Amino acid sequence: MATPVLTFTDRGIYCPAGDFHIDPWRPVPRALITHGHSDHARWGMGAYLATDQALPVIRKRLGQITAEGIAYGETRRIGGAGVSFHPAGHVPGSAQIKVTVGGESWVVSGDYKTEPDGLAEGFQPVPCHAFISECTFGLPIFRWEPQPQVMQRILDWWQANAAAGKTSILGAYSFGKAQRLMAGLGVHGPILTHGAVEEMTQTLRDQGYALPPTIRVTPDVTAKTHPGALAIAPPSALGSAWSARLGPVEEAFVSGWMAVRGIRRRRALGTGFVLSDHADWQGLNDAIRATGASRVFVTHGYTAPFRHWLDSQGYDAGIVETQFGDEAEAESPPDPPLAE
């Protein structure tokens, strides 16, 4: 029997014909990386290959590494495999990776979302024989509202807080979600940033991504100097001394997990906005259908129920055990929200 295009090992997804791994979680000689979040781009690889747009963030996070960029859509030969990177819509620079060996093509999705967000390169379906798809939100309860509606709800909250003399603080992951928020809200007033957010934002600005001006919070930046401002910070900054110095404040958490009331309750979050950088139930199904693949492997999320669903729809479906997390959504839920 012929060797599969990709195999699944204790180091990550592996291509025997090209002798490389995709998003490996243990050190390997050659790694192809879908995007810059630290659960996919890890330190210790001999050499890295990622999109030209993803590399600056990866270098910022990992320091001195041997790395090379590749343009979206460019096909490169690595050993006996042809590889190309295609927009995933997850965060700026994110990609799906297509691997072709002997006329058979497999695609590794990485993390993705199908709704355009005005910042990340928009998701493009990639025809293939086998598709390895994330399914972070692979349950029917996860169905996202259109981004403009969510942004309007956040704007209304911000304006109400400003009228009450309060600073509004949004907890959002420092790379991807934070910049998506500022791109959608920056025309409405000053935006303050936590240092971790500002560093990632400047890295993207230096690449030419269109982001509004922001003001890094320093000891001189307070609620008095910037009354009624919106601040964006990592979720860990909520309820901290950092947020207290902008007081009085109203805080909110921005994540797909805010679709589940029980998770907000367990985290003692009064306000949550549902905005995810991952595909929802419909997006997952639409993306898989658009590939034309007959074989689908699912990973990272509600793999068992989603695989069962795919089986019922006539796919040859399987589960791939990986060590990817939910960094872009701040954290995985503490327990499955099936009973919510």
84 and 157 assigned to the same domain? no
pLDDT (average), residues 43-71: 97
Q: Kindly report the backbone phi and psi dihedral angles of residue 20, in degrees, each rounded to the nearest multiple of 5, phi listed first.
A: -140, 160
Closest CA to 126 of 82, 95, 165: 95
- Tally Cβ neighbours within 10 Å of residue 44: 12
Give me the residue label for tokens 């029997």: 1
113 and 154 assigned to the same domain? no
Listed in sequence order, the residues at least 6 apart from 155 whose beta carbon sits closer than 8 Å to its beta carbon are 185, 188
Output the average pLDDT for the chain.
92
* Digit-coded pLDDT (tens) for 81-132: 999 999 999 999 999 999 999 999 999 999 999 999 999 999 999 999 999 9
* Digit-coded pLDDT (tens) for 315-328: 999 999 887 765 44
* Digit-coded pLDDT (tens) for 152-210: 999 999 999 999 999 999 999 999 999 999 999 988 888 999 999 999 999 999 999 99
Residue type, 120: A
249 and 302 assigned to the same domain? no
8 Å CB contact between 101 and 17: yes
Q: Is residue 60 part of a domain?
A: yes
Q: Are strands 167-171 and 230-233 parallel, antiparallel or unpaired?
A: parallel
264 and 169 assigned to the same domain? yes
Q: Are strands 95-101 and 81-87 parallel, antiparallel or unpaired?
A: antiparallel
121 and 54 assigned to the same domain? yes
Q: Is residue 128 part of a domain?
A: yes
Domain count, the chain: 2
- The per-residue DSSP string of 157-180 comes to HHHHHHHTT-EEEEE--TTTHHHH
pLDDT (average), residues 326-331: 46
pLDDT, position 1: 57
CA 151 to chain centroid, in Å, comes to: 18
Q: Is residue 335 part of a domain?
A: no
Q: Is 241 exposed, middle or buried (0-12, 13-18, 19+ CB in 10 A)?
A: exposed
pLDDT (average), residues 57-68: 96
pLDDT, position 340: 23
Owning domain of residue 218: 147-273
